[in-house]
Amino acid sequence: MFTGIIEETGTIKNMAITGTSGTITISAKKVLEGTKIGDSISTDGICLTVTDIGPDHFTADVMAETVRRSCLSEKKTGDKVNLERAMAADGRFGGHIVSGHIDGTGTVREMRREENAVWVKIECDSRILRYIIEKGSITIDGISLTVAEVTHRDFSVSVIPHTGAETTLLGKKTGNKVNLENDIVGKYVEKLMKPEESRGNLTLEYLENNGF
């Protein structure tokens, strides 16, 4: 599990994707501290398992499902990526619950400055947009952000200077794709609200009768 608080940006050293799977090697520094083979590192929001590690890099396998769901296949050697180690049991929960399991991608449609912040508008599919609410949480390329606006076709976040400086988001251009992960809470609530798919009979009436 991750929090969406980026620890550093790394650089893609090598990508060996054959067909729809392969390996990726990333140059990094901070996220290598205390990391061992088998550990998880969020890479642009994608939970990757470390299969090899060196003094200045780590390597991970990339499976077909990851390539299908994310925009990883569009990356190339030299590109920067957002990195975060899995949350330690005694760590601070600065962002929100992030699994590192990408729901899909979105497309940057607009960036505009408002005083010290930058508004970023992202268009995405309705199956992702349905779980996005104003003032809720969204993960963009591994970054935990608060949703500022939502429409029927896109959503916007407002990025503070620190986040802009510590991540790759403000380096994006209109038309660039980003990885998106919805807040996991909404997906579980939806699943539980469908009695035929759940183990019990959780309904709106049941919740109301029990003080929810």
> CATH code at 179?
2.40.30.20
Quick one: which of 95, 172, 171, 177 has its CA closest to 138?
Answer: 95
Q: What's the rounded Cα separation, in Å, for the pair 104 and 148?
A: 20
Say if residues 4 and 98 touch (Cβ distance below 8 Å): yes
Say if residues 50 and 35 touch (Cβ distance below 8 Å): yes
Least confident residue range of 67-71, 94-98, 136-140: 94-98
Q: What are the distances in angstroms from CA 157 to CA 42, 114, 212?
A: 21, 12, 30
Is residue 92, in this structure, part of any structural domain at all? Answer: no
Is residue 99, in this structure, part of any structural domain at all? Answer: no
Dihedral angle over CA of 68, 74, 77, 81, nearest 10: -80
Domains of the chain: total: 2
Residue 198 has pLDDT above 60, yes or no: no
**176 and 108 together in one domain:** yes
Mean pLDDT of the chain: 92
Average pLDDT over residues 92-102: 89
**185 and 111 together in one domain:** yes
What stretch of H or E contains 189?
helix 184-192
Phi, psi for residue 110 in degrees, rounded to 5: -160, 145
Between strands 40-43 and 80-85, the pairing is antiparallel
Quick one: which of 131, 105, 127, 142 has its CA closest to 183?
Answer: 131
Q: What's the rounded Cα separation, in Å, for the pair 141 and 123?
A: 14
Q: Note the pTM of the prediction, 2 decimals.
A: 0.89
Domain range for 18: 8-85
Residue type present at position 131: Y
**81 and 15 together in one domain:** yes
**59 and 132 together in one domain:** no
pLDDT digits (tens, 9 = 90+) for 149-184: 999 999 999 999 999 999 999 999 999 999 999 999
**30 and 76 together in one domain:** yes
pLDDT digits (tens, 9 = 90+) for 101-141: 999 999 999 999 999 999 999 999 999 999 999 999 999 99
Beta-bridge partner residues of 57: 27
How many residues does this entry show for the chain? 212
